[in-house]
């Protein structure tokens, strides 16, 4: 039996691969810093540790104790440094070390793989494709960067399923440049927007990814509605978008409360879709998933039926409820394009204003994206509408999330608020996020929507629940 050790196994990308391998009969061990705190009696057992153990992963403190002779390899992510005790132990024992992306590339070569790439929407599209194939009875596998809500409701992490069928759907990340390692049977490029890297760097990465697919005679599907993604098109008979010449065309978009309706044209068929998610960007996501599912042999009508029951993805414009007339939404949005799309999605169903809150992550990324963040947010926020008797949308910020390490702290989230005010937008900066939440709840009126946005910080889910409690107790 093959056996692997994952350093940082609680991470969303690492845990997905670990769960998948266990489901295929592989022995998997793993460590995480938070496991060590529990094993030393310093905290309660982390939920993710219990979930991993339940599915068969053996969990250890990150102290080298779990790395033993006989392992096929030790798997690491880009975040693991050479000083890590587990990595040092692996080198002492001459155990091969693999990057997470190398393991994912290895797995993808052993299955019929659909790889979803792009700077926005990967988790949602990956989940949608999996949901369609599963609905069609194909028993697919999936590895993604966010939990499916229906799987989480069963007590699982929700970001991986090891199915019995031949198809594997994976989220392929460009942020660390490892996208170039994948050679899927079906590959998707959803969009290319400035995020972790400059546009010219991203274009080079996506170009190599596209060559990996096309050089093997496999299928590349791109979003013809996105100018930069469109550059990688290998032929419009594979693409999706809004123009009549693409293979999968979306038309007649309509927002109906927190749902969207539209029609999809493919060859001679024209089928009505209804997806229980808000926002026109989710129409693009649904078109992408449909294009991939069609290539996997699923009918257009089955795609429509499946997506009408799509359960959603954790913290991807997740509507947590309406409390005292105010709707609360939690979202993973963190780059300029995602934030603008999330604000516009909330505007589609909000009866009143959108009170948006954003906690940037990392001083370097915030400095890198400052101008783009301000420009995109300023264009998305609505001014007051006298005719509709609606006041203007408001942007709230709390201080940048700091995950540790050596960093130059020469920028603040308050700088983003100041930049927006100069542009004529209403923006508020309150360093402490609970104090900021209290101000938002105090500011909110029935019909308004509070939209929470941020990434990387594992406490954001708890923060969203705290905001919900504040709304419940508001008058």
Q: 428, 358 in Cβ contact below 8 A? A: no
- Mean pLDDT, the chain, as a whole number? 92
Residue 432: name the closest of 401, 395, 464, 470 by CA: 401
In degrees and rounded to multiples of 5, residue 378 shows phi and psi of -60, -40
Could you tell me whether strands 326-331 and 318-323 are parallel, antiparallel, or unpaired per DSSP bridges? antiparallel
Label residue 425 exposed, middle or buried (CB < 10 Å: 0-12, 13-18, 19+): buried
User: Which pLDDT does position 326 carry in this prediction?
Assistant: 96
Checking if the pLDDT of 284 tops 70, the result is yes
Q: What is the DSSP string of 237-278?
A: TS-EESSTTSSEEEEEEEEETTEEEEEEEETTEEEEEEESS-
What SS3 class is residue 142?
strand
User: What is the C-alpha to C-alpha distance for residues 83 and 63, in angstroms, rounded to an integer?
Assistant: 11
pLDDT for 387? 62
If we measure between CA atoms, which residue out of 28, 182, 16 comes closest to residue 101? 182
The H-assigned helical ranges of 182-246 are 199-214, 227-230
pLDDT at 404: 67
Q: Give me the residue label for tokens 């994952």.
A: 6
The residues pairing with 160 across neighbouring beta strands, listed in sequence order, are: 143
Residue 388 has pLDDT above 80, yes or no: no
Instruction: Determine the pLDDT at residue 405.
Output: 65
3-state secondary structure of 154: coil
For 453, residues 6+ apart whose C-beta sits below 8 A from its C-beta are 331, 332, 333, 334, 339, 342, 356, 357, 358, 359
User: Is the model's pLDDT at 278 over the cut of 80?
Assistant: yes
pLDDT band at 12 (very low <50, low <70, confident <90, very high): confident
pLDDT at residue 173 in the model: 81
Q: Which of 166, 183, 168, 173 is nearest to 105 (CA)?
A: 183
Categorize the per-residue pLDDT at 176 as very low, low, confident or very high, splitting at 50, 70 and 90.
low
270 to 260, 348, 382: CA distances (angstroms): 17, 25, 34
Comparing 2-11, 137-146, 311-320, 380-389, the range with the smallest average pLDDT is 380-389
CA–centroid distance for 46 within its chain: 22
How far is CA 383 from its chain centroid?
Answer: 29
Collapsing DSSP to helix, strand or coil, 31 comes out as strand
pLDDT band at 168; cut points 50, 70, 90: very high
For residue 168, the 8-state DSSP code is E
Q: Which among 462, 458, 461, 463 is positioned nearest to 34, based on CA atoms?
A: 458
The torsion angle over the Cα atoms of residues 140, 141, 145 and 146, rounded to 10 degrees, is 60
pTM comes to 0.89
Q: Is 253 exposed, middle or buried (0-12, 13-18, 19+ CB in 10 A)?
A: middle
d(C-alpha 23, C-alpha 136), whole Å: 21
The mean pLDDT value for 266-295 works out to: 96
Give me the helix-helix angle, 100-109 and 12-23, nearest 10°.
Answer: 40
Averaged pLDDT, 120-127: 93
Give 313-363 pLDDT, tens digit per residue.
888 889 999 999 999 999 988 889 889 999 999 999 999 999 999 999 888
Q: Is the pLDDT of residue 386 over 80?
A: no
* Cα–Cα–Cα angle for 456, 461, 462, rounded to 5 degrees: 120
* pLDDT tens sequence across 60-116: 999 999 999 999 999 998 778 889 999 999 999 999 999 988 998 899 888 999 999
| Structure tokens, 342 | 């999330």
Phi, psi of 361, rounded to the nearest 5 degrees: -120, 125
């Amino acid at each position: 039996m093959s056996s692997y050790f994952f350093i940082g196994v609680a991470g969303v990308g690492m845990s997905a691969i670990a769960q998948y391998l266990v489901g295929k009969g592989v022995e998997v061990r793993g460590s995480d810093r938070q496991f060590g705190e529990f094993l030393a009696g310093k905290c309660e057992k982390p939920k993710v540790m219990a979930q991993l153990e339940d599915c068969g992963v053996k969990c250890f403190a990150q102290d080298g104790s779990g790395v033993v002779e006989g392992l096929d390899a030790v798997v690491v992510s880009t975040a693991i440094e050479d000083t890590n005790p587990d990595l040092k132990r692996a080198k002492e024992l001459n155990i091969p070390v693999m990057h997470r992306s190398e393991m994912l590339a290895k797995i993808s070569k052993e299955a019929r793989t659909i790889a979803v790439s792009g700077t926005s929407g990967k988790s949602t599209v990956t989940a949608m494709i999996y949901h369609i194939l599963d609905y069609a009875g194909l028993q697919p596998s999936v590895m993604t960067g966010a939990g499916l809500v229906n799987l989480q409701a069963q007590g699982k992490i929700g970001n991986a399923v090891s199915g019995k069928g031949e198809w594997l759907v994976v989220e392929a990340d460009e942020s660390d440049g490892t996208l170039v390692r994948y050679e899927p049977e079906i590959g998707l490029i959803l969009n290319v927007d400035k995020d972790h890297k400059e546009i010219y760097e991203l274009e080079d990465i996506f170009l190599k990814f596209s060559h990996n697919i096309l050089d093997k005679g496999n299928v590349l599907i791109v979003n013809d509605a996105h100018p930069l993604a469109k550059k990688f098109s290998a032929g419009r008979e594979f693409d999706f978008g809004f123009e009549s010449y693409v293979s999968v065309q979306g038309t007649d978009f309509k927002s109906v409360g927190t749902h969207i309706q539209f029609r999809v044209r493919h060859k001679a068929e024209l089928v009505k879709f209804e997806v229980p998610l808000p926002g026109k960007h989710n129409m693009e996501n649904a078109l992408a998933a449909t294009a991939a599912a069609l290539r996997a042999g699923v009918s257009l009508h089955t795609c429509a039926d499946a997506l009408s029951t799509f359960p959603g993805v954790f913290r991807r414009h997740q509507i947590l409820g309406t409390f005292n007339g105010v709707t609360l939404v939690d979202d993973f949005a963190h780059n300029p394009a995602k934030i603008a799309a999330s604000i516009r999605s909330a505007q589609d169903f909000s009866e009143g204003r959108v009170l948006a809150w954003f906690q940037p992550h990392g001083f370097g990324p915030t400095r890198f994206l400052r101008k783009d963040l301000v420009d995109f947010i300023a264009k998305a926020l609505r001014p007051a509408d006298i005719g509709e008797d609606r006041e203007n949308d408001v942007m709230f910020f709390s201080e940048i999330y700091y995950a540790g390490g050596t960093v130059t702290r020469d920028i603040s989230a308050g700088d983003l608020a100041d930049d927006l005010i100069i542009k004529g937008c209403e923006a508020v900066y309150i360093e402490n996020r609970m104090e900021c939440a209290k101000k938002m709840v105090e500011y909110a009126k029935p019909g308004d929507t509070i939209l929470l946005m941020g990434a990387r910080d594992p406490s954001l889910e708890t923060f969203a629940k705290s905001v919900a409690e504040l709304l419940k107790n508001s008058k």
